[in-house]
Structure 1
Amino acid sequence: MAFWRHIDRNLLLKDGWEKNATYQWGIALHPLGELNALDYITEAQGDIEEMRARNGSLSLQSAFNVICTYLFVRNLFLAVSMLYKRPKMLAGWCCVLQAIAGLVYSISSLAVYLPDGPSCRIALWLVGVGSSISVLCVGTALLQKAYLVHHRNKWLLGFGIFLLLPQPAFTYMVWNSPGVMSSAGGCLSCYPTYLPWAKLAMDMPINLVFSIAFLMVVYQQYRQFGSAAWKQLVHNGIQTMCLIVFSNIICMFCVAFEVIGIFSEFFFIFDWTITSVLLVHHCTTLRLSKADAHKPHTQNVVRELANIKTAATQFASKTTVAETCSRYNIKYQAIV
């Protein structure tokens, strides 16, 4: 199966399909999008080659979803462990919410093979909701950090909330795009060509503005105080935030230019997964670096203990000599 070949999504939709489509909340539902994987494969009974093609494309998507499930389970475990130790940590709640949303999507996508499992449309709608939740979680974590290090600047807080408000628009665009089953690509979303660019325009301000605002203040604090904790914070912040920005840019361009054909829409989920991993790694690393910054260095502890032991030994030696001289009536003068 050559999944890298270019296929026009508009050709998957027959002209006038909206006339026979059912509607939900004013959204046209394509008949092929209402099928799950098992129903779609068995619908081609009698044509072995067609059944193999349908099963092959859906199996490839399932393999990708298995990897996503593992990563989201791992992220959820780390986030819950972090939240258990610091229940008032807002970034920890963001990590948990983002991982739960990803886990709901990945498990639902794997369940399409079950009898009476969720349809292709349900899986695509979960992508629309989960992607927006992911961006909101990352944006909230960045906004909190930038707000605190800028001395609780309310203008920055209001501007950050304003940048987060358009995110539900992406969910609406995904829901309004018809989902179809195809033997060449499995469960696909026939989204308009402007959707990846609109997604990039909504995500870039959040990733750039808040990251730069936070990292500038952190670097100034590091140069002023030279704390080891701030140094570690600068290093991890720059590394993680840059990776989040690069991941978003690269994935959105890959979707826009369809670098792997009709499977390029999986870069939406790929970016979602990478962002979840980076956010959990960022929060757990910062928590450990802050804890290590308050621990005394081993060499200093050993040196102090050695000094205490030497002083005690010297004092004990003086007392022993004085007592010995007194015992034998020898004149003794302590040398201080």
Structure 2
Amino acid sequence: MLASRDEVAAAIGTQWQQNATCINAVASASLVHTRPRALAIWLCLVQSMFGVMCGVFCISTYVPSGITCREVLWMIIVCIRINDLCASAILLQKAYIVTNYRRWIFIFALLAVAAPAPIVYASWSSPAIMSARSGGCAFIYPSYYPWLRFAFHAPMNIALTLIFVGVAYLNVVCTFAIAFEIIGLYSIALTLAEWCISSTLLVAHVGGFGKGNRRSSERRQYERATHDEFFQPQITLSTFAATLTTDVVLALPEQVDVLIVGGGIAGLANAYALARAHPSLHILVAEQASEICAVTTAAAGGGFRKKCKIICTKQLKQAHMVL
């Protein structure tokens, strides 16, 4: 006997949900291993693991001796509510940072924490459960149930939309679609699609954030290693109030071709003293650190074959001649 279109659609939907949650769980576990102290990653792992558990329960309904539809409903409702809490916590944490740590954002945290209790109670006490032809289960919910969910989710989703317009837009659309029953009785099934999509986006977002942090850390380590290897100070100039002493002037090695000093009156005085001691020396005076970098680059690309020395006499009380 060939399977009906409803049976095929139900099987594909269940398998897709299970595949998505398994992939998210593996990705979340990998992120936890690399960044065990990040709260957002642990929340991603929790909601992904509950997604895997929910998928196993849904698949078991196709087994003749599997669990009942009411047990499946209870498991799905609890898992979705936990997913909502995890997703809300991650988004509110990001919103708290984006809004410059405004405490009014915690109002929505209280709303997110209070939402599961009445929704779970309404799911447990009111709806009737019946077996569909496909062997699955249908959730016959009361007319107020979508609006109960809407009342708890819409305020926070709308607020987050104002903060993260691009991130929360589809979440709001899905909430309205469920409330207005766009596809009839099966509109409530959109919560599963919303769950999988939001789970994937959260894992991808946190994973990208972790990769960015790792790249930044690797870049800092490379810069420190490069600085230690190639830019280790060779001669420490004993200066006070940016005043260059005679010993320092005489200590300049002969291979120096360009010397960059700090700006201001002290920098000009240093440049004058160095020019008198080393007539063949090219001396550049830079006021800011950015200018020092600019003239260093210009000196390196201007045909100077010898080493370029830098003395930041204005910014440092104890300047360094660096290679």
Matches within 5 A, 1:25-174: 57-147=6-96, 156-157=105-106, 160-174=109-123
Deviation at 1:64, TM superposition (A): 0.6
Larger Rg, first or second structure (1 or 2): 2
Mean Cα deviation higher: 88-97 or 255-264: 255-264
Question: What is the one-letter code of the residue matched to 1:283?
Answer: V
Deviation at 1:292, TM superposition (A): 3.0
Give SS of 2:61's match: helix
Greater strand content: 2
**Residue 246 to residue 179, structure 1, CA distance change in 2 (3 Å):** farther
**Residue 250 to residue 207, structure 1, CA distance change in 2 (3 Å):** closer
For residues 209 and 256 of structure 2, what CA distance do their matches in structure 1 show?
47
Counterpart position of 1:206: 156
Aligned residues: 241
**Residue 87 to residue 115, structure 1, CA distance change in 2 (3 Å):** same
Counterpart position of 1:248: 171
Question: Match for 1:280 among 178, 183, 203?
Answer: 203
**Residue 292 to residue 205, structure 1, CA distance change in 2 (3 Å):** farther
**Residue 118 to residue 156, structure 1, CA distance change in 2 (3 Å):** same
TM-score normalized with structure 1 length: 0.59
Does the CA-based 8 Å contact 2:57-2:72 persist in structure 1? yes
Does the CA-based 8 Å contact 1:196-1:253 persist in structure 2? no
Gaps of 5+ in 2: 232-253, 258-278, 282-323
For residues 108 and 181 of structure 2, what CA distance do their matches in structure 1 show?
33
Deviation at 1:61, TM superposition (A): 1.2
Does the CA-based 8 Å contact 1:120-1:187 persist in structure 2? yes
Choose between structure 1 and 2 for higher RCO, CA contacts under 8 A separated by at least 6 residues.
1
Deviation at 1:78, TM superposition (A): 1.0
Deviation at 1:56, TM superposition (A): 5.2
Question: What is the one-letter code of the residue matched to 2:20?
Answer: L
Counterpart position of 2:137: 187
For residues 191 and 167 of structure 1, what CA distance do their matches in structure 2 show?
16
For residues 260 and 208 of structure 1, what CA distance do their matches in structure 2 show?
23
Deviation at 1:58, TM superposition (A): 3.7
Counterpart position of 1:28: none
Counterpart position of 1:8: none
For residues 184 and 260 of structure 1, what CA distance do their matches in structure 2 show?
18
TM-score normalized with structure 2 length: 0.61
**Residue 69 to residue 159, structure 1, CA distance change in 2 (3 Å):** closer
Deviation at 1:154, TM superposition (A): 5.3
Matches within 5 A, 1:216-231: none
Gaps of 5+ in 1: 1-47, 216-237, 309-313, 318-333
Question: What is the one-letter code of the residue matched to 1:197?
Answer: W
Deviation at 1:260, TM superposition (A): 3.4
Question: Match for 1:178 among 128, 135, 138?
Answer: 128
For residues 247 and 199 of structure 1, what CA distance do their matches in structure 2 show?
16
